Structure 1
Amino acid sequence: MERDELLTPWGCVMTMGQTRAWDLETDVVCIGSGAGGMSAALTAAIEGLNVLVVEKTQYVGGSTAISGGAVWIPNNSQSSQLGHKDSMEQAKLYLDRIVGNWASDEMKRAFLEAGPEMVRYLEQRTEVKLIARAYSPDYYPDTEGASLGGRSMDPAPFDGRSLGKNFDLLRPPLKEFVVLGGMMVTMSDAYHLLNVTKSFASWRHGMKLVARYASDRLRHRRGTRLVLGNSLAGRLLKSALDRKIPVWVSTPARRLIVEDDRVTGVIVTKDGRELAIKARRGVVLATGGFPSDIALRQEFLPHPTGLWSMAPEGNTGDGLQLGQAVGAQANRNNASNAFLAPISILEKPNGETVKFPHLVWDRARPGLMAVNGSAQRFVNEATSYHEFGLAMYDSHKTVPSIPSYLICDSAFLHKWGLGLALPGRRPFRHLIKAGYLVEAPTIEALAQRLGLDPATLAATTVRFNALAAKGEDEDFGKGGNAYNRYLGDPSVKDRNPCLGPITTAPFYSVRVYPGDIGTAAGLVTDRHARVLDDKGQRIAGLYACGNDMNSVMGGTYPGPGITLGPALTFGYLAGRHMAGVA
């Protein structure tokens, strides 16, 4: 430790006087390489600052790279072209109804005002290109201010070959979301691939994908046609490389440096050495929250909880702890401290754990129901993944509901798949052998194998089938709104596309747990992403965005892309503020 330095009770380095010897000086240090950190880095660099990005893991992209990639930006410039007359007032009304007082008006307005600006700014100056969805309902489509489309944007497909030798720096997508061992597909691609023998258009589309992938595998370990969150992460990385922003991987941040009540730098570990890096304009915390740290999960999240997260293993709360070490305020009082999702878990013989998030593919389809430990339904299966997770915890207060059980028949399994059991009659016997997928010749036998009451599950199934025949779920409303129907069977036009019978033996089930796709609780900031202390005062030189920043949605989940939208937006605001741009 340098002369006149003190190690504070929080673990940060506080310098008394100006005697520190810096290993490197720059304007901005961004800790983390997901959407938030890279947006801040790019914006600061575009505005003329020198920037360094440090990343704890060996890959760039964070949870962005393995996400679905949706970016929720109300009132963006493409909405009206798609026939959706959006406005800031309508979006604010919607957030007021869903988010309410879980977030301040200041933060909601900052996001809504800056979001469309951010999209234009990055599109004009970087490789980031977002395409608004013509039809993609908000998650509460019957609420005042909701929209049926235009607000959710997807990254345009990206050619990973343009990264050259840096392609291998990009975090790969989840293995469970690729086909043929490494080919990325969107939901539209998946529909085409499932219909290659039924439609010439689907056959042609599928053959183009396969031909491109075959060519890729001659030179690369996976496909280079990037979509979803991998495309967004790839576009951000390409933009950083184009601007010659150094990105140091395998470089965890250890401590923040405080001088005269201002964060002036950070100590990182690189190649086995501790380096002190001065940040003249600011340090940005963007490490992805704490979903992979069991102690923080138990502190912030409802019980029971386990390591039930789809986030990367490196997201262990580094930003949260670095911030708290210098007095930053962490908000524990959100509607939910995590963005929940039902996940199923496969334990492999070699000890490896494989997790599958049941987000949008199977739960809303006709012929699937969910039951709790009493063998009774407890939720609209087609609701958002976040609401499904909340329902599991709510049901668990009175009835064992963790795990809960997704149940279908063989016709459903072959057509739609169930978790890791993929559709299209793919092999699945290994999943049965592993205990992940449970199979039985009758509903009663399935109940016995799940440890449920056979008579109750049989009665629940009879009731579900009667509702399916009627076409209306009088009990829980499956298929009762535009969002539900959007995720139902797209070929069904004349009846409820989310309801179908469970009748064709054998019958199947997977256990699901209330996991998450990231944490919502984080460091409290102002509208410029400046971190605040416990008294609400700004900590000079310190910013936070992405899941290190407390969710502007207050732990609610209004629509697809409400994590990446704010991450990019508040990263943009942080970058501009550090550069002194009004």
Structure 2
Amino acid sequence: MADQDFDVVVVGSGAGALLGAIRAQEQGLKTLLVEKADLFGGTSALSGGGIWIPANYDQARAGVRDDLRTAFGYMLRCVRGMASEDRVLAYVETANTMAEYLRSIGVPYRCMPKYADYYPHIEGSMPGGRTMDPVDFNAARLGVDALETMRACPPGSKLFGRISINAFQAHSMLSREFKSRFQLIGMMLGYFLDYPWRRKTQRDRRLTGGQALIAGLLTAARKAGVQMWRNAPLRELVQDASGRVTGVVVEKDGRQLQIRARKGVLLGAGGFERNQAMREQYLTQPSRAEWTATPVGGNTGDAHRAGQAVGAQLHLMDWSWGAPTMDVPKEPAFRAIFVERSLPGCMVVNSRGERFLNESGPYPEFQQAMLADHARGNGSVPAWIVFDAGFRAQNPMGPLMPGSAVPDSKLRKSWLGKVYWKGETLDELAAQIGVDAAGLKDSARRMTEYARTGKDLDFDRGGNVFDRYYGDPRLKNPNLGPIEKGPFYAMQLWPGEIGTKGGLLTDRDARVLDTHGQVIPGLYCVGNNSASVMGPAYAGAGSTLGPAMTFAFRAVSDMLGRPLPLQHADWLEQPERAAQRPAERMAQAA
């Protein structure tokens, strides 16, 4: 007999798990959420909080025109047959409904009209508007005590390690828009004058990005009455004689409890990037758990293994949401480098001193290029991001604030030769970092020439709207700047990630499939715990959180016995492919 009975048990506390728990509870299903860590929020709390939502409710306000058919075609081309067509369609059709539901429970979003899809060269892409950013959230709505149970974002994602900044403000500042100086003053005044709040907690009252999303969801969960346990890791799934998943075994307060789930178990416990053994089993090598940007102690694949134990099929296990990362002392995890590498005046080189990629391209492709170039014997793990004194004075790079604000003399002395390397000449810098000096000097010369002409003849950096988003619009090419003025600097980059994208294979309602492609009754899975609906691709910013919450929304409808039908099933040109196993689809795509 179970120790406790619920209608739904949700494993994990990231965005997908929380949304599923809230909707289930609101629909009258008694719901328990269990989180193995001592803080709620998972990787979602550390994220930018963006969601990729085609034809979303806020596009008209922003003057953006989009349609589902175009988005469906774009996404199909991105996934390259590695996700079933009906699942892709289910996502495209339901994403905006989910976003409207988020708004209804107090987590509104706004579209980003200038943030392009990640693959501008693929038919059906948009120059902006499909990615949405969470509206800033007042932490007082959640309350200080509850806020302390939520995972905080790392200091590196805040101004001066304290002040929250949203995606619109970050873009304005990095693009050097005139209004950005007034925004900065306003944010600083807002933070430092908020004495009543700062006496209660060191966290900013104004939450942005993933912090705004998770705080909003936690507020909604508390309002709905969801029971939530921390420090309660999943140990196993429970099945009845028919094979239906009927509950879970979790560890709580030193004892194992069997929890019954009458309607279903929803797994949303993240990826496996913190599990070194699984990394070595599945991911391209070299691969180290410490290179990842996700929370230490989480995302160890526990729910993957629990799913496997009841017969679940795994898919896309050799893929990750790759991103270059940097080791910053005293930060608990490596820091992902999303923006700075696009700024003009820097370049990335291998041990031969040669560029091997478009520094401004999407971060998953950046990581893949590092691994591919390293496999060719060119020493790209680690790679080096190199810049000169002009760049250093004007721009941030990882933990380094612009030199005009924090000069080298104010940096921690222990960082020199560990976080950053510095040489008066490129020859001196090359000797320090073990890079071929002739290659490095030639790459800098070529980059300087490209900055003058506005055309990168090697990798076409700055040649599309996505590249240019984080660039300097005052330049001939917003992403190209000279590297010619000493002293010169270098910093290490590692092939990390913001999560793995392989996991339990699911159908369009997030129901887990077994190794024969049949549904495992009672078991649902979302987020990085599941095989991504994006296949090997990253359609646009928010391609992790958007699907996680959308499929959680669909899963609850199925638990209620009201699965959401496809509105445009006639768009499935090859409906029989929906039943094909992933291995067969991948073989055909190859």
- Superposition TM-score, scaled by structure 1 size: 0.91
Name 2:300's counterpart in structure 1: 316
Name 1:421's counterpart in structure 2: 400
Q: Is the counterpart of residue 325 in structure 1 residue 309 in structure 2?
A: yes
- 2:220 aligns with one of 239, 257, 261: 239
Name 2:245's counterpart in structure 1: 263
C-alpha spacing 1:453/1:160, structure 2 compared with 1 (3 Å): same
Name 2:372's counterpart in structure 1: 394
Give the distance between the partners of 1:225 and 1:265, measured in 2 at CA: 38
Shift of 1:401: 1.0
C-alpha spacing 1:212/1:544, structure 2 compared with 1 (3 Å): farther
Name 1:439's counterpart in structure 2: 422
Give the distance between the partners of 2:181 and 2:396, measured in 1 at CA: 23
**Contact kept in structure 2, 1:432 and 1:439, CA below 8 Å:** no
Shift of 1:185: 1.5
Give the distance between the partners of 1:359 and 1:291, measured in 2 at CA: 19
**Contact kept in structure 1, 2:502 and 2:530, CA below 8 Å:** yes
Deviations 1:530-556 (A, max 9, x none): 001000111111000011110001121
3-state SS in 2 of match to 1:508: strand
Deviations 1:342-365 (A, max 9, x none): 0111356xxx765121112x1111
**Contact kept in structure 2, 1:33 and 1:53, CA below 8 Å:** yes
C-alpha spacing 1:206/1:320, structure 2 compared with 1 (3 Å): same
Give the distance between the partners of 1:545 and 1:532, measured in 2 at CA: 13
Name 2:7's counterpart in structure 1: 27
- Larger mean CA deviation between 431-440 and 52-61 belongs to 431-440
C-alpha spacing 1:431/1:381, structure 2 compared with 1 (3 Å): farther
3-state SS in 1 of match to 2:256: strand
Give the distance between the partners of 1:92 and 1:539, measured in 2 at CA: 28
Name 1:139's counterpart in structure 2: 118
Q: Is the counterpart of residue 111 in structure 1 residue 95 in structure 2?
A: no
Q: Is the counterpart of residue 206 in structure 1 residue 211 in structure 2?
A: no
Deviations 1:31-72 (A, max 9, x none): 001011111111211221110100010111111100011100
Give the distance between the partners of 2:488 and 2:156, measured in 1 at CA: 23
Give the distance between the partners of 1:190 and 1:117, measured in 2 at CA: 28
Q: Is the counterpart of residue 218 in structure 1 residue 199 in structure 2?
A: yes
Counterpart of 2:103 in structure 1: which amino acid?
Answer: E
C-alpha spacing 1:301/1:50, structure 2 compared with 1 (3 Å): same
Q: Is the counterpart of residue 538 in structure 1 residue 522 in structure 2?
A: no
3-state SS in 2 of match to 1:115: helix
Number of residue pairs matched? Answer: 553
Name 2:459's counterpart in structure 1: 476
Name 1:555's counterpart in structure 2: 536
Deviations 1:371-405 (A, max 9, x none): 11111010011101111111111111211211111
**Contact kept in structure 1, 2:173 and 2:180, CA below 8 Å:** no
Q: Is the counterpart of residue 406 in structure 1 residue 388 in structure 2?
A: no
3-state SS in 2 of match to 1:254: strand
Give the distance between the partners of 1:387 and 1:189, measured in 2 at CA: 26
**Contact kept in structure 2, 1:110 and 1:527, CA below 8 Å:** yes
- 1:566 aligns with one of 547, 559, 566: 547
Shift of 1:82: 2.1
Shift of 1:204: 4.2
C-alpha spacing 1:418/1:239, structure 2 compared with 1 (3 Å): same
Note the 1:452-463 alignment, pairs <5 A. Answer: 452-463=435-446
**Contact kept in structure 2, 1:288 and 1:547, CA below 8 Å:** yes
Give the distance between the partners of 2:67 and 2:177, measured in 1 at CA: 41
**Contact kept in structure 2, 1:346 and 1:434, CA below 8 Å:** no
Counterpart of 1:484 in structure 2: which amino acid?
Answer: D
3-state SS in 1 of match to 2:315: coil
Give the distance between the partners of 2:305 and 2:425, measured in 1 at CA: 51
- Superposition TM-score, scaled by structure 2 size: 0.90
- 1:385 aligns with one of 363, 386, 390: 363
Shift of 1:433: 3.1
Counterpart of 1:151 in structure 2: which amino acid?
Answer: R
Name 2:507's counterpart in structure 1: 526
3-state SS in 1 of match to 2:8: strand
Name 2:568's counterpart in structure 1: none
C-alpha spacing 1:45/1:102, structure 2 compared with 1 (3 Å): same
C-alpha spacing 1:283/1:85, structure 2 compared with 1 (3 Å): same
3-state SS in 1 of match to 2:341: coil
**Contact kept in structure 1, 2:246 and 2:261, CA below 8 Å:** yes
**Contact kept in structure 2, 1:300 and 1:332, CA below 8 Å:** no
Name 2:354's counterpart in structure 1: 376
Counterpart of 1:38 in structure 2: which amino acid?
Answer: L
**Contact kept in structure 2, 1:546 and 1:566, CA below 8 Å:** yes
Counterpart of 2:353 in structure 1: which amino acid?
Answer: A
Shift of 1:216: 2.8
Counterpart of 1:25 in structure 2: which amino acid?
Answer: D
Give the distance between the partners of 2:149 and 2:325, measured in 1 at CA: 28
Deviations 1:508-563 (A, max 9, x none): 11110110001110100111100010001111110000111100011211110100
- 1:464 aligns with one of 433, 447, 472: 447
**Contact kept in structure 2, 1:197 and 1:203, CA below 8 Å:** no
**Contact kept in structure 1, 2:171 and 2:470, CA below 8 Å:** no
Q: Which runs of 5+ in 1 are unaligned?
A: 1-20
Give the distance between the partners of 1:317 and 1:197, measured in 2 at CA: 46
**Contact kept in structure 2, 1:531 and 1:544, CA below 8 Å:** yes
Counterpart of 1:89 in structure 2: which amino acid?
Answer: R
**Contact kept in structure 2, 1:404 and 1:511, CA below 8 Å:** yes
C-alpha spacing 1:538/1:264, structure 2 compared with 1 (3 Å): same
Counterpart of 2:312 in structure 1: which amino acid?
Answer: A
C-alpha spacing 1:524/1:197, structure 2 compared with 1 (3 Å): closer
- CA-based RMSD of the aligned residues comes to 2.0
Give the distance between the partners of 1:213 and 1:478, measured in 2 at CA: 42
Name 1:344's counterpart in structure 2: 326
Shift of 1:253: 1.0
C-alpha spacing 1:193/1:554, structure 2 compared with 1 (3 Å): closer
Q: Is the counterpart of residue 37 in structure 1 residue 17 in structure 2?
A: yes
Give the distance between the partners of 1:566 and 1:358, measured in 2 at CA: 23
**Contact kept in structure 1, 2:167 and 2:209, CA below 8 Å:** no
- Larger mean CA deviation between 508-517 and 416-425 belongs to 416-425
Name 2:491's counterpart in structure 1: 510
C-alpha spacing 1:499/1:213, structure 2 compared with 1 (3 Å): farther
C-alpha spacing 1:197/1:415, structure 2 compared with 1 (3 Å): same
Q: Which runs of 5+ in 2 are unaligned?
A: 564-590
Shift of 1:306: 0.5
- Larger mean CA deviation between 309-318 and 52-61 belongs to 309-318
Deviations 1:457-476 (A, max 9, x none): 11111111111111110111
Give the distance between the partners of 2:13 and 2:238, measured in 1 at CA: 21
3-state SS in 2 of match to 1:568: helix
Give the distance between the partners of 1:150 and 1:552, measured in 2 at CA: 20
Give the distance between the partners of 2:35 and 2:255, measured in 1 at CA: 15
Shift of 1:90: 0.6
Shift of 1:212: 5.0
3-state SS in 2 of match to 1:53: strand
Shift of 1:489: 1.6
Give the distance between the partners of 1:113 and 1:312, measured in 2 at CA: 32
Shift of 1:196: 12
**Contact kept in structure 1, 2:191 and 2:204, CA below 8 Å:** no
- Larger mean CA deviation between 198-207 and 338-347 belongs to 198-207
Q: Is the counterpart of residue 363 in structure 1 residue 341 in structure 2?
A: yes
Taking only the aligned residue pairs, the percentage that are identical comes to 38
